[in-house]
Amino acid sequence: MNPQQTPPQRPELEVKLADTAVIGDVERPLTLYERVAGNDAAQRLTILVALIVVWEIYARWLNNSLLFPTFSETVRTFGKDIANGVLIDRTFTSLRTLAIGYAFGLAFAAVFTTMAVASGTGTRILSTLTAMFNPLPAIALLPLALIWFGLGTPSLVFVIIHSVLWAVALNTLSGFRSVPETLRMSGRNVGLTGARYVGLILIPAAFPSILAGLKIGWAFAWRTLVAAELVFGVSARSGGIGWYIFEARNDLDTATVFSGLLTVILIGLVVESVIFRAIETRTVNLWGMQR
């Protein structure tokens, strides 16, 4: 054992606080480079540009526009079809079908979740149905939908509802379940019950999960729609974006196929990083419920 276990006696100390002006940079604006480097949008844009450059170089080197058209050729076709209205028309048809399907899907999800919140039996019904149907690819239901509803929008709407409903219902329910008990109690404390309790407490409190469900549901729906339209090829006189791609493939017009795919991607990007992003920054990020 060390005999010097007790620490040495030291003088006490009292210091006058230093003047902060000496420190200099307590707060200063960021430089342009620092802001760009920390900017999500700028970085994403850089990645996109890099991808486009790689695409252009590879396609030029390959030099086979039937297999792999260049970016510039794709953009030219894209511009041409936008200008003559074909692509806009096709996109509009797709988006309209999507909106109908998405809206119905959300409405059904709301019904199921309300049922599940209201009673234990409802919860069991929803979790059983979700377990059964969620893994079932919507496209696998398309043959059945064609028998039931025939060729056309109703069949498409049916498969879109299927792809939206379970994802949204599942996420909303798990969101409701994870609302902290204290928050529930402080809602009931002021006398909230029934629909007002759900609307004013549960839905905002579960909003991060609900939003995640909406995003997944949107991605499923969009994917399903384009795929279903490809299968549909046959009759559609006012077909959607999937039909546009299918038609171009039949004509071996690969640049147009690419421009169709580009449209699908662009719409996906806009919805994801403009619409949903805007909702996120105004809600869950602002509230500190999600980083």
Closest by alpha carbon to 207, among 138, 141, 103, 282? 282
In whole angstroms, what separates CA 180 from the centre of its chain?
26
Q: How far is CA 58 from CA 77, 157, 179, 263, in A?
A: 19, 39, 51, 21
- The first and second tokens of residue 98, run together, are 């999507």
- Per CB under 8 A, 185 contacts another protein: yes
Cα separation of the two ends of the chain: 52
Candidates 137, 152, 154, 204; binder of another protein (CB under 8 A) is 204
Nearer to another protein, 135 or 180 (CB): 180
Q: Backbone phi, then psi, for 269, in 5-degree steps? A: -65, -45
Contacting range for another protein; rule: CB under 8 A; set: 56-64, 156-164, 190-198, 220-228: 190-198
Nearer to another protein, 183 or 275 (CB): 183
Nearer to another protein, 101 or 213 (CB): 213
In whole angstroms, what separates CA 208 from the centre of its chain?
12
Candidates 207, 220, 243, 244; binder of another protein (CB under 8 A) is 207
Contacting range for another protein; rule: CB under 8 A; set: 41-49, 89-97, 135-143, 280-288: 280-288
- Per CB under 8 A, 152 contacts another protein: no
Q: Residues in the site for another protein, rule: CB under 8 A?
A: 180, 182-183, 185-186, 188-192, 196, 200-201, 204-205, 207, 283, 286-289
